[in-house]
Amino acid sequence: MSLRFTEVADQVHVLREPLLDVNVTLVVGDGEALLVDTLSTAGQAAGLAEAARAVTGHPWTLVNTHHHFDHCFGNATLASDPPRPVYAHELAAAALRDTPERLRREAYEELRGERPGLAAEVAGTALLTPTHPVHTEAVLDVGGRRVVLRHPGRGHTDADLVVHVADVDVLVAGDLVEQGGPPAFEDSYPLQWPDAVAELLRLTTPATVVVPGHGELVDVDFVRAQHEQLVELAWLIRAAHTAGAPPERVAAEAPFGARPALIAARRGYAELDGTA
């Protein structure tokens, strides 16, 4: 299946990869472009490059919203020949540099049950370390367009970046915001995630278009509603931990469903115990 971008604001385009429903954002400026996230494999990234070239012939800079396989394993295909800048949070860059085998192994284990073919492709994908680590914020000039990369704090991972294209009021949230499924808590910091989303919301207006990591585009009301759920989840985790209750107690009462909430509760308990 060929991949295709859809324009969602003036010269801002979003592609939804059909297998894992990952969103990739393409920002086109005067003589330059920016690609946010690079998909899971060399093959997917090659299809992504073809789709991007159907929109613009400009050279691109890459941004990884975080270091999970479906958002950055296409780096080598898209940025190595010719070499192009790749921005990511410094901890995401360190993970790709220092622990590529661990990242490939974790991705393989996640996929092998339901998607064995994709799991095998991911396991054999060459990884490329981001060239431009971001600590808290970086401001890019993308062909005359001001694009801000910001780390709003720990949330989905310890290394999330959001991408704000202010001139058209588009905010790329990565997996800090999810549509079509619950947030993923495996590497998360559920007690800090609400603060990260609150920081993200400070970049928005009532008209902001938000690009989640997966699924349909959403508005600010959707993000506020998900923030409220994350606040409720964090409160339940703290209360249950204080009461000495097992994480299963949280899973029975929390939003997002029993399995995601159980993972979140275990991660939250680890935060409170100082082991996360």
Read off the pLDDT of residues 218-275 as tens digits, 9 standing for 90 and up. 999 999 999 999 999 999 999 999 999 999 999 999 999 999 999 999 999 999 999 9
Q: Domain for residue 186, yes or no?
A: yes
16: which 2 tokens? Answer: 């939804």
What confidence tens digit (pLDDT) does each residue in 252-267 have?
A: 999 999 999 999 999 9
Q: Domain for residue 30, yes or no?
A: yes
* Domain range enclosing 105: 6-220
Does pTM surpass 0.85?
yes
Q: Domain for residue 177, yes or no?
A: yes
| Helices 220-242/258-273 angle, 10° precision | 60
Q: Domain for residue 262, yes or no?
A: no
Task: Give me the CATH number covering residue 208.
Answer: 3.60.15.10
The answer on pLDDT for 276 being more than 90 is: no
pLDDT band for position 2 (50/70/90)? confident
Q: Domain for residue 173, yes or no?
A: yes
What confidence tens digit (pLDDT) does each residue in 145-156 have?
A: 999 999 999 999
Q: How far is CA 120 from CA 26, 29, 41, 49, 73, in A?
A: 28, 37, 10, 21, 13
Q: Domain for residue 29, yes or no?
A: yes
Q: Domain for residue 241, yes or no?
A: no
Query: How far out from the chain centre does Cα 233 lie?
Result: 20
To which residue do tokens 């969602």 refer?
Answer: 8
Q: Domain for residue 41, yes or no?
A: yes
169: which 2 tokens? Answer: 């009021």
Q: Which residues pair with 134 in a beta bridge?
A: 89
Count of the separate structural domains present in the chain:
1
What mean pLDDT do residues 9-27 have?
A: 97
